[in-house]
Chains A and B, each alone.
Chain A
């Protein structure tokens, strides 16, 4: 699961996984990649919003810093409604492994 807030370059990520598969010979591996929209909620006024709706207000550099450490969004973003920096990342923070399944042939 790729959370939108971390702004992973999906083609580059897929390429890295492809290299990883090549490096090991033991198993046949398939990755299923899902993307999740980042949603934020203001702790002060309760307003919820999508990261994609406010992303354009960020500079390229600020976006890159959030890419490395998503929590630093608190330094560069504010609640669109009440301007509070006290918000939570409800979903779509970053990279998560949802499940690993072993399939025997």
Chain B
């Protein structure tokens, strides 16, 4: 019997909503959207946490320009505050070293992080998911029954096919999907919006490809001023996360 599973609900009991940002394909902007979403919700006055579960390429700390120091320990690990949000990532434990994890290691490390992290009172916990319907996704669904998924896709038909498969799996497992955001939009083609409608997923909006975004990663004051951040803000302000 694994005693860690029974403590996860206790650790998250004061967290109102838990949103997993996911979308199957790599490089579609899950991490930047996770960070920008957490920052924007925090700016709106909500108490927000951010958990980077992409163990193969943790990057949220780089996007936030966070100076990491090891979290405090007192009957668990307190998620340190970074840029006004409570932040937890595997980088606190592996620093900058390569850490090759197999599936079972990913599962164990995710359960361990969920079991040891103290979040306190939060309105939103945003989870930056790794690509794919693999161990991390299945573990999060198993460990957090009230998880909600926010799906991301680019205009690419390949990205959409993966997002679609994920949406279908979530439906089959009775896991709530908030909707889908079309990221890195380059043309006026409304393929994703139409496909989302056909599949019965809420289309939350589009974010245009922003060539200036890359240079603002790690520079928070300019990151929040980008066209990308403004367009995500618009989607959030439309109340589609309520």
Contacts and interface: CB of A to CB of B under 8 A. Distances in A.
Interface residue tally of chain B, by bracket?
20 to 34
B99 A74 contact: yes
Interface in B101-131: 101-102, 104-106, 108-109, 112-113, 116
B160 to A, nearest CB: 33
B102 A75 contact: no
A75 B94 contact: yes
B105 A74 contact: yes
A95 B95 CA distance: 24
Contacts of B1: 96-98, 100
Interface string A59-90: 00000010011111011100000000110100
B112 A85 contact: no
A93 interface: yes
Contacts, number: 58
Contacts of B97: 75-76
A37 B140 CA distance: 30
A88 B113 CA distance: 19
A71 B109 contact: yes
Contact of B108 (A65, A71, A100): A71
A71 B101 contact: yes
A72 to B, nearest CB: 5
A68 B109 CA distance: 10
A33 B126 CA distance: 37
B200 interface: no
B45 interface: no
Given A68-B77, A68-B116, A70-B112, A86 B94 contact: no
A69 B3 contact: no
B100 A85 contact: yes
B189 interface: no
Given A65-B93, A85-B100, A71 B112 contact: yes
25 contacts: A65-B94, A68-B73, A68-B77, A68-B116, A69-B112, A69-B113, A70-B112, A71-B106, A72-B93, A72-B109, A74-B99, A74-B100, A74-B105, A75-B93, A75-B94, A75-B99, A76-B97, A85-B98, A86-B100, A88-B102, A95-B3, A96-B1, A97-B1, A97-B2, A97-B3
Interface of B: 1-4, 73, 77, 90, 93-95, 97-102, 104-106, 108-109, 112-113, 116
3 smallest CB-CB distances across A and B, nearest first, come from: A75-B99, A97-B1, A75-B97
